[in-house]
């Protein structure tokens, strides 16, 4: 797995060896971002000897969960933390070292970078095995399993129907509520960052980005006659954080097997255009994230999101090339004899960018479903002429950013935009959405065969319950060969009060059932406006999609 974009780094002022101990109740954290990076022990048969390998102390000892070495605690000679610091210097991949250790007294797990006890379901099989070795078990089969089998056999396998989930949480209230549950123990909690200017200008105009970033630095309002941006003290900095976390999470979902993602941001973006923002939408987070993994099929080369340096044996890819790096690459191209490049000419086949493990890190087809209370005019504008991104929106027919069902794309993108404007939007209920899903969305998804599905939600649909949202996400979750990302977007003014909705959706993403059957709403009637719009949209799109013919 490649999590380089969210890898932990140690700041210069980070206190590595604090001896402060305030006592009191100890509450393990469920949001340790380092658990997913640590390579845990593969096998463990016995724990002998139980003394520190450095000072031979037999009290207050801890077992390293990466290599199995035993070291004394900070209350003795602190060799455990010394072991972590030494391995930290040699960890070039994730920069976390052997940071997890388990107490041989009470089997509590400590993370050195977090300075906290940790509770995470990934650690449970290992803790259970160590417990059986230390204390013994009345169950002989359990003892035999722990003595003879690898821990890999004790850890539940993850398949397409029960994937692990990467979650990025910017909204503080939602984070607080989630920590009261055990849901985060089933997730990879991703550390987030602000999007760089280089990343932002790959979608937005440089003039617009420079204007916003300049205003962010001096904490000033944006004054422009062409557009209006809702402003408060942290609006612009929050927008860059939301953009950065969306880019990183979508990249990590695409780069990892059997993983989906959940983005809980505070700044929406689906109405932001390339050259200006719109209300609360400052940067188009979803488009920035999708573009970072989308292969450009208009040429024989992938979208320039990395710098390829020519090597006599292989191509080396560097993430996030700057303009200076692009200039250096151009100079190499100019100064290198042409005969070298004649041997390296690409074939007509579109290249697939892969990582060191030959995993595909770019996609060709993305399906975006907008289930917010607003029409995502910005996302539609970005992909209106693209045949690689299908954008679908269900929205209120009278909404100020409304879009007619006649608007279905342009040029190469004709047929790849589907607008479902409902006059009955405020009265639409679960049966209406179930019908739209089955009659319009699922057929075109099956025919389009997206590699990535992004679902935008704000949990503001008037008559849609948390259970219905979970059922919708569950249906997308079941689609084979497609990665899934759920992202907060749209009207986020009340999102801090939507903890029940977030928990329901997250439960489905980590593999739990929505507990709703397909005939849950069979006795409910369908709004006539919904039936009418479905017929009109099928007639409009039947020339583009055989599923409607």
Per-residue three-class SS string for 28-68: CECCCCCCCCCCCCCCCCCCCCCCCCCCCCCCCEEEECCCC
Residue by residue, DSSP assigns 199-257 as: HHTTTS-HHHHHHHHHHHHHT-----SS--B---TTHHHHHHHHHHHHHHHHHHHHHST
- Distance (Å) of CA 241 to CA 14, 17, 195: 22, 30, 6
Residue 358: its pLDDT value, please?
A: 54
Lowest mean pLDDT among 18-27, 209-218, 494-503: 18-27
The pLDDT tens digits for 508-521 are: 998 887 777 766 77
| Contact present, 359 and 255 (Cβ < 8 Å) | yes
- pLDDT band of residue 479 (cuts 50, 70, 90) is confident
The pLDDT tens digits for 156-209 are: 333 333 336 888 898 888 888 888 888 887 888 887 899 999 999 999 999 999
Which structure tokens are listed for 168?
A: 């990025």
Share of the chain above pLDDT 90, in %: 38
Residue 386: its pLDDT value, please?
A: 95
Residue 225: its pLDDT value, please?
A: 64
534: pLDDT strictly greater than 60: yes
Which structure tokens are listed for 430?
A: 């679960």
Residue 313: its pLDDT value, please?
A: 35
- State the average pLDDT for the chain: 77
- pLDDT band of residue 321 (cuts 50, 70, 90) is low
Position with higher pLDDT, 33 vs 281: 281
Name all domains of the chain by residue range, CATH numbers in brackets: 33-135 (3.30.40.10), 165-295+358-548 (3.40.800.20)
At CB < 8 A and 24+ separation, what contacts does 536-541 make? 536/405, 537/405, 537/418, 537/420, 537/440, 538/439, 538/440, 540/405, 540/406, 540/408, 541/408, 541/415, 541/418, 541/444
169: part of which helix (H) or strand (E)? strand 164-169
Identify any residues that bridge with 396 across adjacent strands, giving them in sequence order. 422
- pLDDT band of residue 13 (cuts 50, 70, 90) is very low
Cα–Cα distance measured from residue 473 to residue 164, given in angstroms and rounded to the nearest whole number: 15
Residue 503: its pLDDT value, please?
A: 93
Q: What is the mean pLDDT of residues 330-357?
A: 41
SS3 at position 454 = strand
Lowest mean pLDDT among 18-27, 91-100, 227-236: 18-27
Instruction: Spell out where 403-549 has E strands.
Output: 417-422, 452-457, 483-488
Range picked from 110-124, 217-231, 409-423 for highest mean pLDDT: 409-423
């Amino acid at each position: 797995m490649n999590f380089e974009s969210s890898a932990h780094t140690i700041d210069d002022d980070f206190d590595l060896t604090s001896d402060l101990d305030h006592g009191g109740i100890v509450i393990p954290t469920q949001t340790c971002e380092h658990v997913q990076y640590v390579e845990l022990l593969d096998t463990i048969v016995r724990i002998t000897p139980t003394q520190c390998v450095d000072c031979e102390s037999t009290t207050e000892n801890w077992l390293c969960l990466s290599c199995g070495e035993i070291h004394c605690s900070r209350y003795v000679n602190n060799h455990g933390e010394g072991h972590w610091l030494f391995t930290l210097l040699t960890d070039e991949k994730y920069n976390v070292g052997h940071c997890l250790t388990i107490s041989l007294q009470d089997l509590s797990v400590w993370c050195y970078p977090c300075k906290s006890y940790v509770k995470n379901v990934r650690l449970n099989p290992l803790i259970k095995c160590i417990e059986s070795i230390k204390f013994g078990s009345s169950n002989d089969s359990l003892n035999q399993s722990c003595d003879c089998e690898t821990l890999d056999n004790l850890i539940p396998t993850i398949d397409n129907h029960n994937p692990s989930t990467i979650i990025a949480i910017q909204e503080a209230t939602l984070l607080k509520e989630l920590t009261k549950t055990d849901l985060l123990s089933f997730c990879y909690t991703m550390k987030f960052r602000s999007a760089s200017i280089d990343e932002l200008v790959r979608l937005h105009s440089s003039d617009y980005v420079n204007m916003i970033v300049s205003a962010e630095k001096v904490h000033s309002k944006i004054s422009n006659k062409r557009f209006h941006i809702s402003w408060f003290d942290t609006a612009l900095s929050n927008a860059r954080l939301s953009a950065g976390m969306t880019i990183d999470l979508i990249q990590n979902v695409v780069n990892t097997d059997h993983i989906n993602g959940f983005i809980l941001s505070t700044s929406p973006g689906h109405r932001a255009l390339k050259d200006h923002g719109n209300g609360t939408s400052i940067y188009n987070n979803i488009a920035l994230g999708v573009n970072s993994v989308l292969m450009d099929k208009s040429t024989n080369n992938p979208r320039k999101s990395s710098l390829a340096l020519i090597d006599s044996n292989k191509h080396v890819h560097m993430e996030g090339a700057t303009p200076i790096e692009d200039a250096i690459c151009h100079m190499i191209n100019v100064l290198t004899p042409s005969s070298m490049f004649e041997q390296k000419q690409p074939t007509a086949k579109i290249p697939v960018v892969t990582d060191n493990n030959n995993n595909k890190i770019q996609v060709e087809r993305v399906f975006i479903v907008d289930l917010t209370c607003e029409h995502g005019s910005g996302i539609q504008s970005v992909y209106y002429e693209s045949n690689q991104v299908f954008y679908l929106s269900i929205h209120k027919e009278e909404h100020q950013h409304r879009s007619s069902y006649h608007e279905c794309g342009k040029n190469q993108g004709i047929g790849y935009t589907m607008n479902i404007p409902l006059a009955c939007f405020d009265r639409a209920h679960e049966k209406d959405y179930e019908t739209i899903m089955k009659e319009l969305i699922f057929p075109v998804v099956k025919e389009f065969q997206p590699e990535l599905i992004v679902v935008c939600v704000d949990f503001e649909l008037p008559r849609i319950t948390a259970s219905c949202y979970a059922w919708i996400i569950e249906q997308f979750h079941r689609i084979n060969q497609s990665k899934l990302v759920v992202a907060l977007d749209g009207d986020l003014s009340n999102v801090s009060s939507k903890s029940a909705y977030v928990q329901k959706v997250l439960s489905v993403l980590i593999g739990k059932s929505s507990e709703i059957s397909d005939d849950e709403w069979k006795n409910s009637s369908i709004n006539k406006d919904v039936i009418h719009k479905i017929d009109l949209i099928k007639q409009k799109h039947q020339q583009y999609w055989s599923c409607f013919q």
